[in-house]
A and B are shown apart, each in its own frame.
Chain A
């Protein structure tokens, strides 16, 4: 439908434009809820709706008080630091194991490849509540329930499918003759990996890492069960806030999280385009 032909009938014209309106409405539905909370977070009142002052664009109607509250409130601050302590560790664990396994899975002959793949992807498919309940019982038994290590391990497991999917997708375009060439010139497998293969698949690894990071950073069900008060993360604090008494500080937190998502999305898109460009250049 790239363009409306000049001979289109009135009916076709009407459909052409109404179809665009329908699509526009769906795009609006997708993005509006996220956009709306941004101005609301600058509300000077403790309301969750636009005040008359805000609608008049009166500067009196806007303030940073919810942001001040977020940065001065102890429970929000400790939640933020907990999130920042857990997510990077979980990311490192899942990227390390995940990249290694993805390289293994991309070898030409892997026995039981399908079954192994299904197992490794399963944390993404199994309903979170089941994973959470299972981890709660099992980790209590081995003394990991309510510990930092327990939460990191649980989040790492949840992030692994994303690393596997993105890194194997990058490895599809990897030219195997490069590793053979390196070996031919006397490089041992470890050197080959770090000096030849790793730099080339790095964009995929970073995207996988960002997916794993956001998975852990946004995760709430598993941490509710596996964590204890000492591991209360940002999403956990938001969940409590939403369920008990909802405070407008949540809007400020939500806006900050949207900003983080935009940054991560931009990075992933940049990396994807870069690796597509590289793939276009390398002979297959």
Chain B
């Protein structure tokens, strides 16, 4: 302490070097901030992130075949499906043993269901045989090859054995291939036949309709944002309520309003008939199709477009427009070359937000979309809750999530996620 020299490190009051003391204070500050955040981070991790991760894992997980038919999987490892020959007797014997065991604990129906997703018809072969094989004596009843084929000629099909072999791994790309209308064929992934392709159509439809909705939101939102930004504050605040009220109104209320208005016997058709624009005999079909979904969702998502546009337009200095006009620009040139380019960030922010929200929509398409106006979310819900093909639902969900997260990342880069405005 006593021999402090001019060249020595600067010390804090307690005698430690100031640099280290400051670093320590900074560390404490960081630690305190993290301690405040930690409970919430943990909460979100357990209640939200883990569940989503758990679901995504189901899209590749495929333990069931291995767990239910362990002997068969082992024997089939040496079999080459490309030979076109049925596997040896050993495989049949292994299968009979596995099937007997599985049928006793009733897990053979589960594996049957799993393999049926890949090769329709396989389920009944497993179920029917399972009941009989249960009573066989595995040690003495052989050989099983003829016995099994006699029981159900499905076992004489090379395709069936190939399916078991292809889907015997712990992980599978099968669900993902299925989600993009492909399947694992004899020579690797192949495109499904034309009549079995539904998921690509659905993905493309979701994207296309979300784009249409985003575009209609831009077209409707732009003039409104402009007038809100250019009116005197008092009037603008009043009109703002008309934008914020739909934003705060329950999604189901707005969807039911549209469902009621758009019906064939609804208010819109009644009015059109009354004016005489539409004949009473052929009222417009506005609901349970793509149009219904587009109208209702444009209405629901419009505030998300107007608010970011409005906050950008508010910052634009009106003197730029006046300057352009005094330099001889027409109204249109002044708008298009001077004003519009400055509003592009607002349009971008609003569009990404609306698009992100639109692609994942479930409720509105389910209620007003009929069969033609549904989204990929509706298909995911179907697979999770009705068909029971959870893996496929998870794979479709993973694809949707990838699209949304990519856009989320772009949004964060250009707008910054903490700049989201809520009213």
Residues of A within 8 A of B (CB): 1-2, 12, 15, 19-20, 22-23, 26-27, 29-31, 33-34, 36-37, 40, 47-50, 97-98, 100-101, 103-105, 107-111, 114, 116-123, 125-131, 133-139, 141, 153-154, 156-157, 160, 162, 165-166, 168, 211, 214, 217-218, 220-221, 225, 235, 238-239, 242-243, 246, 250-251, 254, 257-258, 261-262, 264-265, 268-269, 272
Contacts and interface: CB of A to CB of B under 8 A. Distances in A.
B284 interface: no
A2 B231 contact: yes
A156 B40 CA distance: 11
Nearest to B55: A134
B245 A26 contact: no
A131 B258 CA distance: 26
A48 B263 contact: yes
A103 B37 CA distance: 8
A97 B40 contact: yes
A101 B422 contact: no
A261 B303 CA distance: 15
B249 A34 contact: yes
The 5 tightest CB contacts between A and B, nearest first, are A127-B360, A104-B36, A138-B51, A134-B51, A101-B40
Contacts of B260: 37, 40, 48, 246, 251
18 contacts: A29-B299, A33-B254, A34-B257, A48-B263, A49-B263, A104-B34, A107-B32, A110-B33, A127-B400, A133-B380, A137-B55, A156-B47, A160-B40, A160-B44, A239-B252, A242-B256, A254-B253, A262-B248
B250 interface: yes
Given A165-B422, A220-B252, A258-B253, A29 B220 contact: yes
B215 interface: no
A127 B253 contact: no
Interface size class of B (residues with CB under 8 A): 35 or more
A130 B246 contact: no
Given A133-B380, A242-B367, A104 B422 contact: no
A168 B37 contact: no
A257 B360 contact: no
B259 A126 contact: no
A261 to B, nearest CB: 4
A254 B257 contact: yes
Contacts of B33: 104-105, 107, 109-111
Contacts of A107: 29, 32-33, 36
A49 B267 contact: yes
Given A33-B257, A131-B48, A218-B251, A111 B30 contact: yes
Contact of B254 (A34, A48, A130, A133): A34
Given A101-B41, A238-B256, A243-B367, A27 B231 contact: no
Interface of B: 26, 29-30, 32-37, 39-41, 43-44, 47-56, 58, 220-221, 223-224, 227, 230-232, 239, 241-246, 248-261, 263, 265-267, 270, 299, 302-303, 331, 356, 359-363, 366-367, 377, 380-381, 384-385, 390, 393-394, 397, 400-401, 404-405, 408, 412, 417-418, 420, 422-423
Contacts of B255: 242
B360 to A, nearest CB: 2
Contacts of B266: 48-49
B35 A104 contact: yes
Task: Give chain B's interface secondary structure class.
Answer: helix
B263 to A, nearest CB: 6
B256 A26 contact: no
Contacts of A254: 250, 252-253, 256-257
B50 A138 contact: yes
Contacts of B224: 23, 26-27
Contacts of A105: 33, 37
Nearest to B360: A127
A119 B44 contact: yes
A124 B260 CA distance: 28
B377 A127 contact: yes
A120 B412 CA distance: 13
Contacts of A220: 251-252, 363
B36 to A, nearest CB: 3
A27 B243 CA distance: 8
Given A29-B299, A49-B267, A138-B51, A120 B44 contact: yes
Contact of B256 (A118, A129, A250): A250
Contacts of A211: 422
B397 A133 contact: yes
B404 A125 contact: yes
Nearest to A105: B37
Given A36-B257, A246-B260, 18 more contacts: A20-B227, A30-B242, A33-B261, A34-B249, A50-B267, A97-B40, A110-B33, A110-B37, A122-B44, A130-B52, A138-B51, A139-B51, A235-B251, A243-B366, A246-B256, A254-B252, A254-B257, A269-B244
Given A31-B246, A258-B249, A49 B397 contact: no
Contacts of B223: 19, 22-23, 26
A135 B52 CA distance: 7
